[in-house]
């Protein structure tokens, strides 16, 4: 039997819909940045079509993500995706964080089965909503509008 954080032994994988990569196991067993940030600068709760959800809150300094907290509610793929997206954007400028895609999350996890790519989309979309919440508070409008305003300059 595999110990916590290890891949299952051969013979067990035929019961899994997806043979997880070691990176997936690390994020799933030891999720990064779990928890909430009091007085977060931006926060959001995203809900997937399946009913799983992720809470994300951000601490932002000079348009850089200096702190991120996330709490996943759902399947192990949702847990791993919430963890992966939090690791991918920690320390990043908001504009770079907004460029992270579900494919990047899947890559960070060593791949995801097609029927769980929506877990990566949930994590990325929730991050985008948390950033948008920050822009709304900071600028009084949507970040998307703010970015497009800059693009017109
Ligand atoms: Fe739906 Fe994970 S199974 S978000």
pLDDT tens-digit profile of 61-117?
999 999 999 999 999 999 999 999 999 999 999 999 999 999 999 999 999 999 999
| C-alpha torsion angle, residues 108, 111, 116, 118 (rounded to 10) | 50
pLDDT digits (tens, 9 = 90+) for 21-66: 999 999 999 999 999 999 999 999 999 989 999 999 999 999 999 9
Domain that holds residue 20: 13-151
Buried b (16+ CB within 10 A) or exposed e, 57-71: bbbbeeeebeebbbb
Q: Is residue 50 part of a domain?
A: yes
Q: Is residue 84 part of a domain?
A: yes
The CB of 52 under 6 Å from ligand 1? The reply is yes
Domain count of the fold of the chain:
1
Q: Is residue 61 part of a domain?
A: yes
Q: Is residue 8 part of a domain?
A: no
Question: DSSP secondary-structure letter at 13?
Answer: G
Query: Which atom belonging to ligand 1 lies closest to the Cα atom of 74?
Result: 2
Q: Is residue 5 part of a domain?
A: no
CATH number at residue 56: 3.90.1010.10
Name residue 46's beta-bridge partners: 54
Q: Is residue 97 part of a domain?
A: yes
Query: Which atom belonging to ligand 1 lies closest to the Cα atom of 122?
Result: 4
For residue 68, the SS3 value is strand
Q: Is residue 6 part of a domain?
A: no
Given a cut of 70, is residue 12 above it in pLDDT? no
Structure-token pair, residue 69: 């907290």
The CB of 46 under 6 Å from ligand 1? The reply is no
**CA 115 → CA 17, 53, 83, 111, 119, distances in Å?**
9, 16, 19, 12, 9
């Amino acid at each position: 039997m595999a110990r916590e954080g290890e891949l299952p032994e051969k013979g067990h994988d035929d019961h899994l819909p997806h043979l997880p990569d070691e990176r997936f196991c690390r994020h799933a067993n030891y999720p990064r940045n779990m928890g909430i940030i009091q007085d977060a600068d931006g926060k959001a709760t995203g809900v997937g079509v399946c009913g799983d959800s992720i809470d994300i809150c951000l601490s932002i300094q000079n348009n850089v993500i200096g702190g991120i907290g996330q709490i996943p509610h759902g399947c192990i793929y949702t847990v791993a995706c919430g963890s992966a997206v939090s690791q991918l954007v920690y320390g990043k400028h908001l504009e770079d964080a907004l460029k992270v895609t579900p494919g990047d999350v899947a890559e960070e996890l060593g791949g995801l089965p097609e029927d769980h790519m929506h877990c990566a989309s949930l994590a990325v979309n929730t991050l985008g909503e948390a950033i948008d919440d920050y822009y709304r508070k900071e600028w009084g409008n949507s970040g998307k509008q703010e970015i497009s305003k800059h693009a017109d300059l």
